Structure 1
């Protein structure tokens, strides 16, 4: 499907959603419901994968001929293919997802080998003790990031120098590995995100021509809460097991910091292709 046709399909679906909501709801509540629905639409891939994890936990039998992890891998592959065929993602967005998929899988290999967490169930599509569907969990974050920017017609003002953004992303990604051997710099990196992006506003459009805005670090914090909740669901289902689970499945709130930082890696991965700094220069 050509890129222009894909974009047209997505726009048509989103326009119909907006018209349906505004037909029944008006004013603040109509705007709020549309905002929530568009957020859900943006994280559709992640929502479907999380739903599959939850459903398979209750429905799967160890006696079935295919392992649960393998079924989740096949489900993720088919879902990704359908997104492309049906025009729910552009090829550019798919490239972003692939990059984040690869970086996420590399992190999974390291974290599992370091004993941070484990995948206890068997699977054919499992490499270095990591089921291959796990990379799609990171890909879903990249998918959300790319889609939410497009769905809400986001711009970032003022966008920091791209070289500084890329350096920060590399430092955050490296710290996920090096903190096992060297001092953990996560709080220093959180401070760096506030210094670099503290002045950056996300300008977004829910409907019509009116733009709303929110500070980028605040948006990252809200998104990290959603990811932490999703992580708790996966932990509750036993899809992965943490090394230190003291009679509770609730993930420690400190993981919010990890998700907050990972979102910047996802955001800057998206900007490798979308480059909002160049878009802002073109508008100026």
Structure 2
């Protein structure tokens, strides 16, 4: 079924007869469908988050059930050839990066947030399923790249992109000790990607938008997902321990910067790198 859908999305019939609002409406519809399809792992994983009772299933704690669900979803996507082995390696790297960040943030000296429920698969106070939340972002970018036939114009030199990505990741740790340089890094990323555009195909024609705008939009939807997860008690910030409140909007900027880092990793996959233009 998904193979048929993907074939249709990637081989849309040319619609030269469409004009005006009709073209806009159809392209917007296909844009939404392709994004929804790219969110396959995200949708299935967060469906598990919403459906698994807090008490767990069949005697297994909720966090352990979510880990099994995430592994099953990832394994099925690889088996169904919805992801390649190289793409899976990149997704696993996101998992490791995310887990390291989580372990630091929940540590006794930091306590930025916490996972209150018991689990057998907790390590350093972090349930192992949590890394899949970061992997989900990478999975979305990988899937979107294929479905939208993405191409990147005026990408900065790779060494600069890698450097800013490393500094962004480091700031998530160091801001607890030497100050938060998030906005300086955001300004550096703004200058670095100012000329970069992403070319995508929602239907039968190429469209383009600033790559920076896509970073901000993806960061916004991750922030929404974070609000849903904290509302359901998957994890909690200190200010949510008494009663739930919305995640502070400043987290949107943090997620957008994390997307920059994630994009940099995806951009180094061989079949994706071929679609990236770096000016001489």
- TM-score by length of structure 2 reads 0.90
Q: Deviations over 1:258-279 (max 9, x none)?
A: 0010001100011222475554
Q: Check the 8 A contact 1:22/1:30 in 2, yes or no.
A: no
> 2: distance between equivalents of 1:137 and 1:62?
19
Q: 1:145 to 1:20 in 2, by over 3 A?
A: closer
Q: Deviations over 1:6-40 (max 9, x none)?
A: xxx976531235789999x9622221111001001
2:144 corresponds to 1:148: yes
Q: Which residue of 2 aligns with 1:160?
A: 156
- Within the candidate set 70, 74, 99, 2:68 is matched to 74
- TM-score by length of structure 1 reads 0.88
Shift of the alpha carbon at 1:281? 5.4
Q: Check the 8 A contact 1:117/1:243 in 2, yes or no.
A: yes
Query: By percentage of residues, which structure has more helix?
Result: 1
> 2: distance between equivalents of 1:21 and 1:261?
37
Q: 1:21 to 1:29 in 2, by over 3 A?
A: farther
Q: Which residue of 1 aligns with 2:226?
A: 231
> 2: distance between equivalents of 1:15 and 1:251?
39
Q: Which residue of 2 aligns with 1:115?
A: 111
Structure-to-structure mapping, 1:82-97, within 5 angstroms? 82-97=76-91
Q: Which residue of 1 aligns with 2:95?
A: 101
Shift of the alpha carbon at 1:81? 0.4
Q: Which residue of 1 aligns with 2:167?
A: 171
Q: Which residue of 2 aligns with 1:4?
A: none
Q: Which runs of 5+ in 1 are unaligned?
A: 1-8
> 2: distance between equivalents of 1:63 and 1:27?
47
Q: Which residue of 2 aligns with 1:125?
A: 121
Which runs of 4 or more aligned residues in structure 1 lie more than 4 Å from their structure 2 counterparts after TM superposition? Answer: 9-12, 17-23, 275-278
Calculate the aligned-residue CA RMSD, in Å.
Answer: 2.6
**Aligned pair count?**
272
The DSSP-based 3-state class of the residue aligned with 2:209 is strand
- Within the candidate set 6, 9, 16, 1:14 is matched to 6
